Chain A
């Protein structure tokens, strides 16, 4: 089986048209669907969170058949992921994309569980503390700060579990968990 690192590639990865953005609607929809699955799979197994469009990304090229996805194609696939809620653009120029192979809600649950498991309820922590704390315990959410930057709304505020205190700088941001 062809591999990219230790990631197993499907057979159609060697099919040249897979790397050309198809104009015919039906064909294109199928193509986009396959690429989305592949991107999510790859990122999940390789623990990749961010894809930068202008940089080399191993999944977007196949040297065996000498094909590479064009910028237009990459943007098309990632935009579709964003539309589906499985990714977020990190900048307005669409150069950088955060891949949410866990949905945001799942991330939120992970954080809450972490907090519960480690007894951090009812205490105020800074983002930095949480992040390094989580990291040091070996769980897989080391881009916690990215997530925080974006969509605080999506976090379980509504559940009344978190409250954010904004300081004068990012370092001063604190989160209080009341589980």
Chain B
């Protein structure tokens, strides 16, 4: 029994790779996909993601890596059976839908040129699938959005623009190409500038309406605000008390409702008091993965290390709406320890926090700093954070952190003067306190003396050089009294 669902591409952090213009719309966890056809193997306990173009199923992190992510294009769905509320006392909510399978047994995907050509239904069968939602999550909301996305047929506008730019798969638009403002099922098509404008208008109108509704609700809410806050507080206390007195014999249902309550509190804005112990709310997990993906490009540009604050600004700017709070950012970064992502959060002694690649090597940075600090110019005048920043190709604030760390390791010494804060290569280990006039004729000390004596203000040291050269390594020893 092999799995004929299409394979979905996934990033290294476990997030799905989206198609062009594909937007995530809803997410449910703990979902089993049970096809009513023996040729398709069921998928157990994963995350079901609804996008504008596809239904994606990702295995949960506890599953073995053998199960891969699967996808069903919305275009191949021919029918959605569940219309109204799915809640039932007897079993978990279910969503039942039907999709088309082409003659070679694979899920019909009108977007690709696979299978038997362009028209639907030629020699294809249909398979019914039930998605059983065992986890928490807004099932009704999901269903509504499922209907919406399926009807919106966002992939079609994709295809027409795609074929316009000369894609090789000639039959790229499997359904409803050709001119005309109306697609085959009669809904107004969103094509061209007019389509975009119309879409904008519709969005604007619906936003306006929902804003009005919200304000109505808000007024009502404000008058009940005090009660709500008290209620929320009580819930929080209950959660706290419940968890601390928990014995190992708690049954699953209680755990489920506790998690539900946590999520609910989180959506209202109250951070769950037990987030450290639990794996973190699902929201934070997904956010964490998304952040790991996003931060890769800025990291590369910044030379492998980026200030947490800078990353936060960039991330929020990229998100546009649904900005995250600094707390969410911190949470997301701390969750990285639990996943296998190529980035990590690092806290310096100076309490500056940065994001860096796991492959980042401190040793390599120190080697580069050392070679910079032993250049003649640096021996004479030391290096400032700006100098280091230019050499290492990173931001000056990051460079300063590296210099301070190098100082801690005994590689550099600081020099504080009206000229500013500079670092020199550390000569102290080379100096013998019982023999302070003695300088080895090899090593960093003599290199320093040579470099320094060529500059005007240290010309007096010029006299030192011949002395050392003549006497070799046995120069003047301080006489003890």
Residue from A8, A11, A16 with most neighbouring chain B CB atoms (10 Å): A11
Shortest distance from the beta carbon of A28 to any chain B beta carbon, whole Å: 9
Neighbouring A residues of B414 by C-beta, 8 Å: 17, 20, 22-23
Please name the residue on chain A nearest to B452 by beta carbon.
A14
CB 8 Å contact bits of A1-30 with B (1 = contact, 0 = none): 110000010111011110110111011001
A1-B463, A38-B436 given; A15·B427 CB < 8 A: yes
In the assembled complex, B478 has its CB within 8 A of some CB on chain A? yes
A24-B408, A41-B478 given; A64·B424 CB < 8 A: no
Inter-chain contact A15/B424, CB cutoff 8 Å: yes
Neighbouring A residues of B452 by C-beta, 8 Å: 14
Residue from B408, B410, B422, B431 with most neighbouring chain A CB atoms (10 Å): B431
Shortest distance from the beta carbon of A139 to any chain B beta carbon, whole Å: 15
- From A11, A38, A67, B445 is in contact (CB under 8 Å) with A11
Neighbouring A residues of B382 by C-beta, 8 Å: 16
Shortest distance from the beta carbon of A80 to any chain B beta carbon, whole Å: 13
- From B408, B417, B448, A66 is in contact (CB under 8 Å) with B417
In the assembled complex, A34 has its CB within 8 A of some CB on chain B? yes
Neighbouring A residues of B437 by C-beta, 8 Å: 8, 10-11
CB 8 Å contact bits of A55-85 with B (1 = contact, 0 = none): 0000000001111000000000000000000
Shortest distance from the beta carbon of B327 to any chain A beta carbon, whole Å: 33
* Selected interface stretch from B34-42, B58-66, B180-188, B453-461: B453-461
In the assembled complex, A94 has its CB within 8 A of some CB on chain B? no
In the assembled complex, B13 has its CB within 8 A of some CB on chain A? no
Neighbouring B residues of A19 by C-beta, 8 Å: 415, 417
Neighbouring B residues of A66 by C-beta, 8 Å: 417-418
Shortest distance from the beta carbon of A49 to any chain B beta carbon, whole Å: 16
Inter-chain contact B410/A27, CB cutoff 8 Å: yes
- From A23, A33, A38, A64, B458 is in contact (CB under 8 Å) with A64
**Cα of A12 to Cα of B446 in the assembled complex, Å:** 11
Shortest distance from the beta carbon of B268 to any chain A beta carbon, whole Å: 47
Please name the residue on chain B nearest to A10 by beta carbon.
B436
Neighbouring B residues of A27 by C-beta, 8 Å: 407, 410, 413, 426, 428
In the assembled complex, B416 has its CB within 8 A of some CB on chain A? yes
Q: Main SS of chain B's interface residues?
A: mixed
- From B422, B426, B464, B481, A11 is in contact (CB under 8 Å) with B464
In the assembled complex, B8 has its CB within 8 A of some CB on chain A? no
In the assembled complex, B429 has its CB within 8 A of some CB on chain A? yes
In the assembled complex, A37 has its CB within 8 A of some CB on chain B? yes
**Cα of A38 to Cα of B422 in the assembled complex, Å:** 25
Shortest distance from the beta carbon of A69 to any chain B beta carbon, whole Å: 11
Inter-chain contact A12/B431, CB cutoff 8 Å: yes
CB 8 Å contact bits of B435-471 with A (1 = contact, 0 = none): 0110100000100110010000110110110010000
Shortest distance from the beta carbon of B438 to any chain A beta carbon, whole Å: 9
B397-428 at interface with A (beta carbon < 8 Å): 407-408, 410, 413-418, 422, 424, 426-428
Neighbouring A residues of B166 by C-beta, 8 Å: none
Inter-chain contact A24/B415, CB cutoff 8 Å: no
In the assembled complex, B433 has its CB within 8 A of some CB on chain A? yes
Shortest distance from the beta carbon of B319 to any chain A beta carbon, whole Å: 41
Neighbouring A residues of B467 by C-beta, 8 Å: 1
Inter-chain contact B433/A33, CB cutoff 8 Å: yes
**Cα of A12 to Cα of B467 in the assembled complex, Å:** 16
Inter-chain contact A11/B410, CB cutoff 8 Å: no
Shortest distance from the beta carbon of B124 to any chain A beta carbon, whole Å: 73
Inter-chain contact B428/A14, CB cutoff 8 Å: no
Interface residues of A (CB under 8 A from B): 1-2, 8, 10-12, 14-17, 19-20, 22-24, 26-27, 30-31, 33-34, 37-38, 41, 44, 64-67
Interface residues of B (CB under 8 A from A): 382, 407-408, 410, 413-418, 422, 424, 426-429, 431, 433, 436-437, 439, 445, 448-449, 452, 457-458, 460-461, 463-464, 467, 478, 481
Can you pick out 20 interface pairs between chain A and chain B where the beta carbons lie within 8 Å of each other? A1-B464, A12-B427, A12-B436, A15-B424, A16-B417, A16-B422, A17-B413, A19-B417, A20-B417, A22-B414, A23-B407, A26-B410, A27-B426, A30-B429, A33-B433, A38-B436, A64-B460, A66-B417, A66-B418, A67-B415
